[in-house]
Amino acid sequence: MFNIVSGAVRLFKLLPDRRRQITGFLFDSDFLGLALKEHCAYSPEAVVETIICRFPRGKLERLFDEMRKLEKRLLDEASNELIAAQDQMLLLGRKTAIERCRRSCLP
């Protein structure tokens, strides 16, 4: 897991046709790698000079035991990410197929 100390990071997913779909941006004090999976579902890329702090998962879990406020903050961050993803799905779900494709599919 990582914390953005300063700078900005773009999150993206590489699609099968080699296009990149940007999924979001992270800035100072944001966390990266909150998912409990071994591999991330997206890739990060610094867009300006960026300083990050790496937390090995085992050490971080021990730190959570000592600092409950930190654990709550990360849970809040993960919850906010989930809400943002749900809002995005709702926005896309309300559009027709033509509206979803308008920018990328139609001339």
Q: What is the pLDDT of residues 18-43, one digit of tens each?
A: 888 888 889 998 888 766 566 667 88
Full domain range(s) for residue 37: 2-105
Phi, psi of 92 (to 5 degrees): -70, -35
Classify each residue of 69-102 as buried b or exposed e, where b means 16 or more C-beta atoms within 10 Å of its C-beta. Answer: eeeeebeeeeeeeeeeeeeeeeeeeeeeeeeeee
> Which CATH number covers residue 8?
2.60.120.10
Judged by average pLDDT, the poorest of 51-55, 59-63, 71-75, 87-91 is 87-91
* Model confidence pTM above 0.85: no
Average pLDDT of span 85-91: 78
Confidence of residue 7 (pLDDT cuts 50, 70, 90): very high
Total domains present in the chain = 1
Mean pLDDT, range 62-83, rounded to an integer: 85
pLDDT score recorded for residue 37: 63
